[in-house]
Amino acid sequence: MERTEALEIVKKQITKHRYEHTLGVMETAISLAQQYGADEKKAELSAIFHDYAKFRPKDEMENIIVREKMPELLLKFNSELWHAPVGAFLVKTEVGIQDEEVLDAIKYHTSGRAQMTLLEKIIYLADYIEPGRHFPGVEEVRALAEKDLNEALIKAVQNTILFLMKKNQPVYPETFNTYNDLVIK
Ligand code: DGI
Ligand code: FE
Ligand code: FE
Ligand code: FE
């Protein structure tokens, strides 16, 4: 699917602010793909659709998680986690994207997972460092991303975990798996 068609589709699903974020993720993902030797078209498509389900009603997402036999553990954690796996499902069923690498990059863009593919790492990181992001620590991760994809990713996951823990929020196990897998290797 071409960029213009994909952008038109996603634009109808999300707010103006989220669309601007999506464009930032797209540009960042393409540039990371060039830098680290990933497929640029797959990076572009994954980035465009990564937040496709961000504004779906919670009950719709919950129904999909149960019906499609996704991990029900998700339902015990922040609903912010749901749009990633539900998004991958809807991008497949509603938009017709079949590429499993692209679908997995969408599915794991919020939690990550152990043994992430290059494309998954790029989308996770692009989501974190796109130019519209302005939170403490983002500059450090941007600088790391210039030199070492894994080091940048470790810092991004670490920041996310610390941020959640400081607010006494639960941390989804897959997020810890992502961190441990990257640090142990
Ligand atoms: O959709 P975005 O805002 O662009 O970013 P995202 O999909 O990476 O993250 C969405 C939210 O999910 C973010 O506010 C933090 C939250 N989050 C990420 N990992 C975890 C988490 N929340 C919980 N409870 N546990 C996690 O492991
Ligand atoms: Fe997201
Ligand atoms: Fe993210
Ligand atoms: Fe995002």
Helix, strand and coil percent figures for the chain, each rounded to 5: 70, 0, 30
In the chain, where the domains are located: 3-134
Average pLDDT over residues 58-70: 98
pLDDT tens per residue across span 101-149: 999 999 999 999 999 999 999 999 999 999 999 999 999 999 999 999 9
Give dist(CA 152, CA 147) in Å, integer. Answer: 8
Residue ranges with strand state E in 61-180: none
Judged against a pLDDT cut of 90, whether residue 99 lies above it is answered with yes
Ligand with minimal distance to 164 CA: 1
Pocket test for ligand 1, best of 23, 46, 77, 110 (most atoms within 8 A of CB): 110
Judged against a pLDDT cut of 90, whether residue 51 lies above it is answered with yes
Tell me if 15 CB under 6 Å of ligand 1: no
The three-state DSSP-derived secondary structure of 46-88 is: HHHHCCCCCCCCHHHHHHHHHHCCCCHHHHHCCHHHCHHHHHH
pLDDT value for 29: 98
- Closest atom of ligand 1 to 170 CA is 24
Give helix 100-107 / helix 118-129 axis angle, nearest 10°: 40
Average pLDDT over residues 148-161: 98
Query: 3-134, which class in CATH?
Result: mainly alpha
Distance 107 CA to ligand 1 centre (A): 12
For residue 135, the number of C-alpha atoms closer than 13 Å in the C-beta half-sphere is: 9
Q: Structure pTM?
A: 0.96
Judged against a pLDDT cut of 90, whether residue 74 lies above it is answered with yes
pLDDT value for 137: 94
Distance 4 CA to ligand 1 centre (A): 27
Tell me if 130 CB under 6 Å of ligand 1: no
Ligand with minimal distance to 48 CA: 4
Judged against a pLDDT cut of 90, whether residue 97 lies above it is answered with yes
pLDDT value for 161: 98
pLDDT value for 185: 79
Mean pLDDT for the chain overall: 98
